[in-house]
């Protein structure tokens, strides 16, 4: 294994916190990963990692090498890409993470089209409602919905996801249909708690140009988008949900839009990836394909789209 490959293995061990997780992410045997780090330490004449039975951590020398190794590996990858023909087929492993409902309802059915363009790419698709740590878990890119907290990640804005208010006919038959926001005092919601923070999202709408928020009572609180929709279908309360997510239920009459004049604010959607000087062609290709796939479901941004660093904001709790 050459120096660049050893550095790549060292970075994955350091970022994932262990040899086993690094081996899984790199698709290499654990002894190969351990040997690569050992040979790198011998080559440099320095101990780079503190090893325990459960986790590894960087030594002072390891910390000094860590950032420089990132630059060296990124420069090496850029150099290789620079001399490849632009039309050359992409290949290799790509690890991405998406919100569960978007992964199941929009992305998975369309993946055959992605593989027709890039048959040699091996995609590892994670889907959950929690915000994974891209660096620690070795994720190349992720789709994020809602305002994002401050981060070193780089984000490509894709658009705004429209949300609606809805309920089941059975719920409305028992509790009546709210006509104006003031009626919410007599209603209950299926509450959604952020899987990361546990924060329960308030009911939100815009009135007279101002964002309004009202904590709603509810018999059930969930932390998963599938359960959120299922509880609404069961008549347990009102929900606020992306319009694409319940279109079949609306068409079948299983859910009904309520308070159409007071929808929750649309949520920004971003394709995010760890900060790198040079973005891998695989990550860029998947991001481009994802942007095209989601475009019919997203509204335009109020500002010109581009690549930005995430800035501090209050995370939303509405599932996507």
Report yes or no on 262 lying in a domain. no
Residues 6+ apart with CB under 8 A from 151: 272, 309, 310
Question: What is the tens place of the pLDDT at every residue in 250-263?
Answer: 999 999 999 999 99
Compute the distance between CA of residue 274 and CA of residue 154 in angstroms, rounded to an integer.
6
Residues 152, 280: one domain? Answer: yes
Compute the distance between CA of residue 114 and CA of residue 288 in angstroms, rounded to an integer.
10
Q: Is the predicted pLDDT of residue 27 greater than 60, yes or no?
A: yes
Residues 6+ apart with CB under 8 A from 204: 211, 212, 213, 214, 240, 264, 265, 318
Report yes or no on 141 lying in a domain. yes
Residues 186, 39: one domain? Answer: no
Q: Which residues of 196-229 are buried (b: 16+ CB within 10 A; e: fewer)?
A: eeeebbebbbeeeeeeeeeebebeebbbbbebbb
Average pLDDT over residues 9-28: 87
Q: Tokens 């990124």 label which residue? A: 74
Q: How far is CA 102 from the centre of its chain?
A: 10
Report yes or no on 41 lying in a domain. yes
CATH number at residue 40: 1.10.10.10
Report yes or no on 314 lying in a domain. no
Q: What predicted TM-score, i.e. pTM, was given to this entire model?
A: 0.69
Beta carbons of 146 and 267 less than 8 angstroms apart: yes
**pLDDT score recorded for residue 305:** 37
**pLDDT score recorded for residue 303:** 42
Q: How far is CA 88 from the centre of its chain?
A: 28
Q: Closest Cα partner for 286 from 159, 151, 142?
A: 142
Question: What is the tens place of the pLDDT at every residue in 70-110?
Answer: 778 877 766 776 666 666 677 777 889 998 889 988 999 99
Q: What torsion, rounded to 10 degrees, do the Cα atoms 187, 268, 196, 198 define?
A: -20
Q: What is the extent of the structural domain holding 72?
A: 3-82
Longest dimension (CA), the chain: 75
**pLDDT score recorded for residue 238:** 97
Residues 240, 188: one domain? Answer: yes
**pLDDT score recorded for residue 279:** 66
Query: What does the mean pLDDT of the chain come to?
Result: 84
Report yes or no on 219 lying in a domain. yes
Report yes or no on 320 lying in a domain. no
Q: Which residues of 260-288 are buried (b: 16+ CB within 10 A; e: fewer)?
A: eebbbbbbbbbbbbbebeebbbbbbbbbe
Question: What is the tens place of the pLDDT at every residue in 153-174?
Answer: 788 899 999 999 999 999 999 9
Report yes or no on 240 lying in a domain. yes
Domain count for the chain: 3
Q: From 257, 277, 298, give the residue that closes a domain.
A: 257
Size of the chain, expressed as the number of residues it contains: 320
Residues 273, 134: one domain? Answer: yes
Residues 23, 168: one domain? Answer: no
Q: Mean pLDDT: which of 13-22, 179-188, 265-274 is highest?
A: 179-188
More confident residue, 182 or 148: 182
Residues 18, 151: one domain? Answer: no
Report yes or no on 316 lying in a domain. no
Residues 229, 297: one domain? Answer: no
Residues 142, 98: one domain? Answer: yes
Average pLDDT over residues 192-217: 88
Q: From 25, 60, 82, give the residue that closes a domain.
A: 82
- The token pair that represents 52 in the structure block: 């325990």
Q: What torsion, rounded to 10 degrees, do the Cα atoms 226, 228, 229, 232 define?
A: 150
Residues 178, 246: one domain? Answer: yes
Question: What is the tens place of the pLDDT at every residue in 35-84?
Answer: 999 999 999 999 999 887 677 889 999 888 987 887 788 777 667 766 66
Residues 26, 101: one domain? Answer: no
Average pLDDT over residues 277-284: 73
């Amino acid at each position: 294994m050459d120096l660049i490959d050893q550095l790549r293995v060292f970075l994955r061990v350091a970022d994932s916190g262990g040899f086993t997780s690094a081996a899984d992410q790199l698709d290499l045997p654990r002894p190969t990963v351990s040997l690569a780090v050992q040979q790198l330490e011998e080559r440099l004449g320095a101990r780079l990692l503190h090893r325990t039975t459960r986790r590894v951590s960087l030594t002072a020398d390891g910390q000094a090498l860590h950032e420089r190794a990132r630059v060296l590996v990124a420069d090496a990858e850029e150099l290789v890409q620079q001399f490849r023909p632009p039309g050359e087929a992409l290949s290799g492993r790509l690890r991405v993470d998406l919100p569960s409902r978007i992964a199941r309802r929009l992305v998975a059915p369309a993946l055959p089209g992605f593989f027709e363009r890039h048959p040699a790419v091996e995609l590892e698709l994670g889907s959950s409602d929690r915000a994974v740590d891209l660096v620690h878990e070795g994720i190349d890119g992720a789709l994020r919905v809602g305002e994002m907290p401050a981060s070193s990640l780089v984000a490509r804005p894709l658009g705004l996801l429209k949300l609606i208010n809805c309920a089941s006919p059975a719920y409305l038959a028992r509790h009546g249909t709210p006509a104006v926001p003031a009626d919410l005092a007599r209603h209950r919601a299926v509450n959604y708690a952020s899987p990361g923070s546990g924060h329960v999202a308030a009911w939100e709408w815009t009135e007279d140009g101002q964002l309004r928020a009202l904590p709603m009572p509810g018999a059930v609180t969930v932390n998963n988008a599938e359960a959120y929709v299922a509880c609404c279908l069961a008549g347990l309360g009102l929900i606020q949900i992306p319009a694409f997510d319940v279109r079949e239920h609306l068409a079948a009459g299983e859910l009904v839009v309520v308070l159409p004049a007071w929808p929750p604010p649309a949520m920004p959607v971003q394709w995010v990836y760890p900060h790198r000087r040079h973005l891998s062609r695989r990550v860029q290709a998947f991001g481009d394909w994802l942007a095209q796939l989601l475009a019919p479901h997203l509204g335009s941004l109020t500002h010109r789209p581009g690549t930005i660093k995430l800035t501090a904001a209050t995370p939303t709790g509405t599932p996507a």
